[in-house]
Chain A
């Protein structure tokens, strides 16, 4: 029966779509809730009397004369100088990504092409370091940093973040390089390249998706890091995440929690943009098919 055969998949289709929609709403809800709430006053967003206040904005209207307010944003960005933290985060991320990608591509390529046994052990040790909680490294570094008087500065945090990040970038790039057939390097070398020219002209262009993906992961590590930056940076040099935490830590003053909420939204927004811009490269199988015969 044709009609029955068509009917069942249709029902299944509806169920599948329904599940997906429910899941998407459930997953996206906290973000939208935070975004919505960030334009309210604390009395609404954290209302004890009636949770629907956050929707109607009762207190917000009473306090500011409008159902929406940007008080949280101006408080965080201007009054508490969140822009400084944002700038610090930008610097930290830029340097962490640049340094760990540079070392990672060179090292990952070398390890992927090495015929020696130590390459394997090197990677294994890297994996162990990657598995260690970052805080164990920090506690070891701290006394030294104090003694050398370099505690609290951005470069120090950058160095520590690179150290934590490097094993991972090495691993990831190493496996990307492994997927590129060695014939390509060799062909380039016979065609007239030095080893480094082969790497630059032939391997790197094929590697872009891998480099972008790895770069994104190291960016996220630096961007989201709390343990290292909270311990190593002084108040002047704080990056965004510890700054948000410090907003939460001083709840004696009314409105600071709303600064944190506004800062959280400000911190999350660039990530959405970033993923959307690079999604094609992240998912891409640019090399698939072209490299293989």
Chain B
């Protein structure tokens, strides 16, 4: 049982703001992902929860207890580091056993617990090896086993997959998802990879420059981004964003005219996702422009046109073929549109 509360948590180094006024309650057994570009304060937040970084202001509460002044060892958390941080002088068995040993857990139970943890991450055959003799994926699994062996209250994972190659990342991601389901322990997971966030999280916190941009389920974040930053950060490709003018429900800019929008007025940024739009017959779509690039993705063809300074992508059927420079017409219905104030970047069509 561990509920984590962050109350007005701040981290400053001199005048530099690392994390600005972070408020969040993480429910027991929740899988929370902190997502954002590098330097957004997500790792700092996690390190503050772990106790590796002091909190400048505010309170961190784990299980109803303020832990601000507790050492990392007294917070009952386990952490997986990006670099894995395995102890090079110990073999895999001793690495996994280390937390039990230093915490004075009854030695009679060590062997059974180490073997259970290593079995969970399929490391049984490597227990006698030194970390230097393991592959990246195996090292990563040792780090996981070392975290789960103690059955802590909270798991912290700091970009655990970023040092793995693409293929291994997918399988390890699945393994982490399965593990977290099995263990049902509150988990905080830091990543800059939005696919990891979407696939793993119960809830995602999107951060930028130390400020929380949006908190929500992966679906909410994807379907209703709260501002321009989230809209442009989440999704592959990111959401198409077009600057224009909105007047009486009509959004207009070069080559573009979308009618039937029911809120907003003035300078507006309109967004829609590539897979929501579709190609229209000549002249019938809301956007008509020459093709800028055309990319064959295998399962689809991605067509981009230029509207002002932004590139607008649309997913077309995989059999669609055209030449660069050909005129296309794109259907953008009001239902798929997201409206943001150009000035503040905030969503306006709620």
Chain A residues within CB distance 8 Å of chain B:
181, 183-184, 186-194, 197, 201-202, 205-206, 287, 289-293
Chain B residues within CB distance 8 Å of chain A:
50-52, 71-73, 77-79, 81-89, 98-99, 102-103, 130-132, 136, 139, 146, 150, 156, 163
Cβ of B72 and Cβ of A290 under 8 Å apart?
no
CA distance A85 to B139 in the complex (A): 53
A137 vs chain B, min Cβ distance (A): 38
A-B contact pairs, 8 of them (CB 8 A): A183-B85, A187-B87, A190-B156, A193-B102, A201-B98, A201-B102, A290-B88, A290-B130
Which A residues are in CB contact (< 8 Å) with B87? 184, 187-188, 202, 205-206
Question: Which residue, of B102, B103, B131, B163, has the highest number of chain A Cβ atoms within 10 A?
Answer: B102
Q: Contacts A189-B71, A190-B50, A193-B73 given: A291-B88 contact, CB under 8 Å?
A: yes
CA distance A201 to B163 in the complex (A): 26
CA distance A197 to B101 in the complex (A): 12
Q: Contacts A183-B85, A184-B85 given: A197-B72 contact, CB under 8 Å?
A: no
CA distance A27 to B83 in the complex (A): 46
The closest CB in chain A to the CB of B146 belongs to A191
Which B residues are in CB contact (< 8 Å) with A190? 50-52, 72-73, 77-79, 156
Which A residues are in CB contact (< 8 Å) with B99? 191-192
* Partner among A192, A201, A287, A289 whose Cβ is within 8 Å of the Cβ of B103: A192
CA distance A194 to B71 in the complex (A): 8
Which A residues are in CB contact (< 8 Å) with B52? 186, 189-190
Beyond A181-B83, A192-B73, 14 extra complex contacts between A and B, CB < 8 Å: A183-B85, A184-B85, A184-B87, A186-B72, A186-B79, A188-B102, A190-B72, A190-B79, A191-B99, A192-B150, A205-B87, A206-B87, A293-B139, A293-B163
CA distance A283 to B154 in the complex (A): 42
Which B residues are in CB contact (< 8 Å) with A188? 87, 98, 102
* Partner among B81, B89, B132, B150 whose Cβ is within 8 Å of the Cβ of A289: B132
The closest CB in chain B to the CB of A180 belongs to B88
B172 vs chain A, min Cβ distance (A): 14
CA distance A287 to B87 in the complex (A): 10
CA distance A187 to B139 in the complex (A): 14
Cβ of A192 and Cβ of B132 under 8 Å apart?
no
Which B residues are in CB contact (< 8 Å) with A197? 102
CA distance A191 to B84 in the complex (A): 13
CA distance A194 to B72 in the complex (A): 9
Question: Which residue, of A192, A205, A287, has the highest number of chain B Cβ atoms within 10 A?
Answer: A192
